[in-house]
A and B are shown apart, each in its own frame.
Chain A
Amino acid sequence: MGKERLVTIRVNGQPVEAQVEPRRSLLDFLREDAGLTGTHTGCEHGICGTCTVLVDGEAVRSCLMLAVQANGRDVFTVEGLARGEKLHPLQESFWKHHALQCGYCTPGMLIAAYDLLKRNPSPTEAQVRDALAGNICRCTGYVQIVEGVLEAAANLREKAETPHGEPSV
């Protein structure tokens, strides 16, 4: 029972292969097998949002998906946002606006915000708040996070950049 199996998941463009038990969550796969600890473990039951990643371009809770279910798919994590030393515009504006204190929620906030800007490059404040409603922050009170997302959106529009940090598939 619970026989290990080989899964291959492309993480930020790089294939990662590992033998996993079926009960291995995608979250634990990313942290333990891929060695990418940017994606945080919070509640492990879908409430907090800090484990948010993109799977085939769509935002999901990585604690509520099994690694075996992600076999053969493309995953994008917070580590994929920066290009080398150059921070992503969302990271720049989070920094500028003090959108993080302890930083626990930050990876989930960044990916949820990234996902929003991909779908809607000119969100209103209400739309930003709605998109981040599934991500809990214990520290900031959310105001600076919302400011950070709105400014990043404006910067991205000005430079006519797509917010694409995702490797092309």
Chain B
Amino acid sequence: MKPVNFDYAAPESVADAIRLLVEARGEAKIIAGGQSLLPLLNMRMARPSLLVDLARIPGLDEVRLSDGWLEIGAMTRHAVVEAHPLVRRHAPLLAAAASFVAHHQVRNRGTIGGSTAHADPAAEEPLALLALDSELIAEGPDGAAKWPIGAFFRGPMTTALADAQVLVKLRVPCRGPSEGWAFREISRRRGDLALAAVAVWLRREDGICRDLRVALGGVADRPVRAKAAEAALRGCAWEPQIVDKTPALLEADIAPGSDVHATADYRRAVARELLVHALNEAWERVGELSPHC
């Protein structure tokens, strides 16, 4: 199983990468960690004439704080997202999600930008980014572009990125002390893509759920918000009767499919079950976070 023959370039700036992509007129592919692209190349499901490797561009794997945002470079590897002190402190939900991605060997190469651009509907990091209300920054031939995460995913393996646009940065609002989070997933084996996964972020004040965002993976053609369940809980006291009713509200927001790994009904059942556990875990966890950055 060998890929088609292609050319390879490792530019040292984003501008050079964009120029190479434009010159290739849609025949080139960006390679980040290669953990999704190389299988596709080996199986000849992708046949680019050129690979543009982002690995030698300085600064693309930087993690830093900036004005209340945690900024994560697109080339930051899953293993770094999982372990980085700034991510663990200011976006622990994202660090937890990264720990569920694949196996150690894959996490050492694959990147958060690659996972986001690849847009597998069952991938974990996009769920955390969605629950945390992140924004994405790209550069392209027409300059910089920015999307709220909710506008980025357009379908399975489909995003708002245009040809020759390079995702450069993910920005996550820093999280504070009255906020809680949880990440839950069920997969066939440790490291497999989720059959269903749930990421919850919420803000709890005086026993009231002031705000929350619930993201689900593996149960639609893209990461989705559980909007009806969110609406039922937002502004309410945390009563078991209300929380226990949220699974029944999922139906409007999810559309699971059947495949070799699980039937649609099973995925639906898993999502419903995970939801209640994740909501209660997030509620209980409030207070563990550090103050806003």
Contact = CB atoms under 8 A, between A and B. Distances in A.
A133 B34 contact: no
B263 interface: no
A1 B6 contact: yes
A1 B104 CA distance: 34
A61 to B, nearest CB: 5
A134 B6 contact: no
Where chain B touches its partner, the secondary structure class is loop
B80 to A, nearest CB: 11
A130 B103 CA distance: 9
Interface stretch (A9-17, A42-50, A145-153): A42-50
Contacts of A64: 34-35, 38-39, 106, 109
Q: Which of the listed residues A23, A52, A131 has the most CB atoms from chain B within 10 Å of its own CB?
A: A23
Interface stretch (B14-22, B48-56, B254-262, B278-286): B48-56
Given A1-B6, A133-B190, A22 B51 contact: yes
Contacts of B106: 46, 61, 64, 134
Nearest to A51: B105
A159 interface: no
B3 A23 contact: yes
A45 B108 contact: no
Interface residues of B, number: 32
A23 B39 contact: no
Interface in B3-57: 3-8, 10, 34-35, 38-39, 41-43, 49-51, 53, 55
B252 interface: no
A112 B102 CA distance: 14
Contact of B105 (A23, A25, A112): A112
A153 B282 CA distance: 37
Nearest to A68: B8
Q: Which of the listed residues B2, B8, B102 has the most CB atoms from chain A within 10 Å of its own CB?
A: B8
A52 B105 contact: yes
Interface in B45-84: 49-51, 53, 55, 79
A22 B42 contact: no
B1 interface: yes
B109 A65 contact: yes
10 contacts: A1-B7, A2-B6, A22-B7, A45-B43, A59-B105, A64-B34, A68-B10, A133-B190, A133-B191, A134-B103
